Amino acid sequence: MTSEAAHKPQPLSEAEVRRVVLEALSQSGYYIESFSFHARFDHPERHLSIDDVIFGLKSTWRGCKAEEFNDDEWQWKYLVKTHDIEGNRLIVPIALDPRNKRFTVITAFYEE
């Protein structure tokens, strides 16, 4: 392990996170791969579709903050506050890989 790798990177700003997410979403067909198994198939009672989440990620966000750092994946987890197609408030936790311009939607849920 190099000394550079020993220091965890600083979290990105909301604007930087948004730039990476939008760039990843612009890659044709990639966005389906952006959803974890949990985000795609668990919690059907939430009635959240992939389209709702993609709509929210492409729309204006109400906020975004770094939540925790995953040492195994060497990436930050961010909580994106946005809304679905009907305007209902969503929170979308994502794992971000800014170097490769990729992200993974960990899950999504309606804000109470």
pLDDT above 90 (res 89): yes
pLDDT above 80 (res 98): yes
Tens-place pLDDT, residues 22-77: 998 887 555 555 765 555 555 566 677 888 889 999 999 999 999 999 999 899 99
User: Domain coordinates of the chain in residue numbers?
Assistant: 14-110
Q: How far apart are CA 105 and CA 107, in angstroms?
A: 6
How many of the other CB atoms lie within 10 Å of CB of 68?
Answer: 12
Is the pTM value of this prediction over 0.75?
Answer: yes
Query: What is the pLDDT, as a whole number, of residue 2?
Result: 47
Residue 78's nearest CA partner among 90, 91, 60 is 91
Under 8 Å between Cβ of 64 and 94: no
